[in-house]
């Protein structure tokens, strides 16, 4: 049961739609709000002589109430398969230590960790360079269009990053660009909109944060995979070829001796396998955590 009165303004309509979608993924809410805002503003721009309240009443009759629109978006989201679709008849998920190898999100997160060094360097460089040039050119006439272009590029990059996050980490992110500014809006109004939009600043912070995070993700993935696979592969090679172990531990002679025996090589091969599964768990945890960070900083509701 709801006490919401029929909305008489675009803002009231969007507020009711946001409340009706409470609990839905942030990306879905952002898309629904953006689509609806575009539609309502389009109706108003085509009927400039009609009061906004009358246009809203007509829109509700033809387009639907905020609650009806929310249900349509929820139903549409349930029928569209994402990067990691869920079947209605899928068996109950089990969270055993070794079951991580069958979770596709694990490999998406691992790939994201390997790519994050490149994307992190690019995002950081682009943001720092853009901020520096914007501040430096602020006293010149060229600084105004440059500031607009830079803010626009931040929005486009945040959308691109959102698509990467959804594709590899499985977190629902906005699938459309933010609503464009009005055609009759002045340059100063556009700059004000960009500077007062919290998502502009949170996106910049996200891009700056991606450099240290990207380094940490990349090093963790590369070192973890190299160490675990290297230990297992080296031990298995020594067992198969009956060659001396290629793993040397001079600090502990007894351990080095153990690596020259078949039981010791088998044990260390199993340790390498366990390390590999541990790395997969780390990747899945990183994917979940980074998905929450991206959702918090890149999605504006």
Q: What is the pLDDT of residue 206?
A: 96
Structure tokens, 235: 């031990």
- Residue 223 pLDDT level (bands cut at 50, 70, 90): very high
Return the residue matching tokens 């008489």: 8
Residue pair 284/105 in contact (Cβ under 8 Å)? The answer is yes
Mean pLDDT (whole number) for 175-184 = 63
Q: What is the pLDDT of residue 179?
A: 61
Residue pair 186/42 in contact (Cβ under 8 Å)? The answer is no
Residue pair 28/77 in contact (Cβ under 8 Å)? The answer is yes
Q: What is the pLDDT of residue 88?
A: 47
Mark out the alpha helices in the chain (DSSP H runs): 10-20, 26-46, 52-62, 66-79, 104-136, 143-169, 187-196, 198-241, 253-258, 262-298
**pTM, to two decimals:** 0.81
Q: What is the pLDDT of residue 208?
A: 96
Residue pair 100/195 in contact (Cβ under 8 Å)? The answer is no
The whole-angstrom separation of Cα 197 and Cα 195 is 6
- Residue 256 pLDDT level (bands cut at 50, 70, 90): low
pLDDT value at 183 more than 70:
no
The predicted-structure confidence for 193-213, as pLDDT tens digits, reads as follows 666 778 889 999 999 999 999
Mark out the alpha helices in 246-261 (DSSP H runs): 253-258
More confident residue, 77 or 154: 154
The ranges assigned to domains in the chain are 10-79, 103-301
The predicted-structure confidence for 44-61, as pLDDT tens digits, reads as follows 888 888 888 888 888 888
């Amino acid at each position: 049961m709801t006490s919401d009165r029929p909305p008489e303004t675009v803002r009231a309509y969007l507020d009711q739609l946001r409340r009706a979608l409470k609990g839905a993924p942030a990306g879905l809410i952002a898309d629904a709000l953006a689509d609806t805002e575009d539609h309502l503003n389009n109706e108003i721009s085509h009927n400039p002589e009609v009061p906004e309240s009358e246009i809203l009443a007509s829109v509700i009759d033809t387009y639907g109430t905020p609650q009806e629109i929310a249900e349509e978006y929820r139903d549409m989201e349930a029928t569209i398969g994402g990067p990691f679709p869920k079947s209605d008849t899928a068996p109950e998920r089990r969270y055993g230590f070794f079951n991580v190898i069958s979770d596709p999100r694990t490999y998406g997160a691992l790939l994201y960790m390997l790519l994050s060094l490149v994307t992190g360097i690019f995002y950081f460089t682009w943001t720092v360079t853009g901020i520096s040039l914007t501040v430096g050119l602020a006293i010149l006439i060229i600084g105004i269009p440059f500031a607009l272009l830079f803010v626009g590029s931040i929005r486009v990059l945040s959308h691109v990053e959102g698509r990467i996050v959804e594709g590899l980490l499985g977190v629902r992110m906005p699938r459309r660009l933010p609503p464009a500014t009005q055609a009759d809006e002045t340059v100063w109004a556009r700059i004000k909109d960009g500077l007062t939009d919290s998502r502009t600043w949170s996106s910049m912070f996200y891009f700056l944060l991606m450099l240290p995070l990207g380094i940490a993700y990349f090093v963790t993935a590369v070192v973890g995979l190299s160490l675990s696979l290297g230990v297992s592969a080296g031990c298995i090679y020594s067992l198969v070829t009956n060659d001396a172990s290629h793993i040397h531990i001079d600090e502990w002679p007894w351990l080095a001796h153990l690596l020259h025996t078949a039981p010791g090589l088998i044990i260390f091969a199993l340790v390498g396998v366990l390390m590999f599964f541990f790395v997969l768990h780390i990747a899945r945890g990183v994917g979940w955590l980074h998905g929450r960070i991206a959702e918090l900083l890149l999605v504006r509701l």
